[in-house]
Amino acid sequence: MRPFLIAITGGSGSGKSTLARALAAALAPIPVTLVSEDDYYLDSASVPGFDAAAYNFDEPAARDHALLRAHLAALCAGETVAKPSYDFAHHARAPETTPLAPAPEMSVEGIHVLCDDGLADAFDLRVFVDTPESLRLGRRLVRDCAPLEAGGRARDPAGVFEQFFRTVAPMHDAHTGPSRARADLVVADTEAFCAVGETPMAVAAAFIAAAVRERLAGHAR
């Protein structure tokens, strides 16, 4: 059985990774593999005249979507691929790759996974996480200012603010936001419909997991 592919997209800091992890937990014991679009950045540092302060990391052209499309096609054909890794400290693709084998369900999360026609068409289910800009900015500050050893990017707050309003927000409005029209399901990051103790992503994950289990059953027939 070929992998069931799910795209999870939304703006930077929208909660995509949180939803992907919650969905994996909700689908247990079905094996789930999580793939981050961030691993498929182009080798930015190799661009002639590269300047990290001025480079636009937030446009689809900064991604190697051709490689991601090829890897998803290979995975669907039952092949194992060599997944790249991106070194955010040096803005370059790391020399090491990671073997990535097909799994019954594979979630690919990233801000541009529905911006590319060929890539968007590869998915069996497309989910858009709709989160207010103020909340996305706050989460990005927390993530980017954390030290590298804690999973952050060791950046200063002023630089995070500058980048957000110079490229992140404009590119969201130009590319990621409009890609919502390609989604099969839109998840609102709000606690309005949550019971006490529940989180929006957990509620959304339970709903999506039920739909995925139904589709996987049909997928296997």
pLDDT digits (tens, 9 = 90+) for 61-115: 999 999 999 999 999 999 999 999 998 888 899 999 999 999 999 999 999 999 9
* DSSP letter string, 100-152: E---SEEEEE-TTTTTSHHHHTT-SEEEEEE--HHHHHHHHHHHHHS-GGGTS
Give the model confidence (pLDDT) of 192-211 as tens digits.
444 445 677 888 888 889 88
Tokens 């661009």 found at: 47
Give the model confidence (pLDDT) of 22-52 as tens digits.
999 999 999 999 999 999 999 988 888 888 8
The rounded distance, in Å, linking the Cα atoms of 78 and 214 is 22
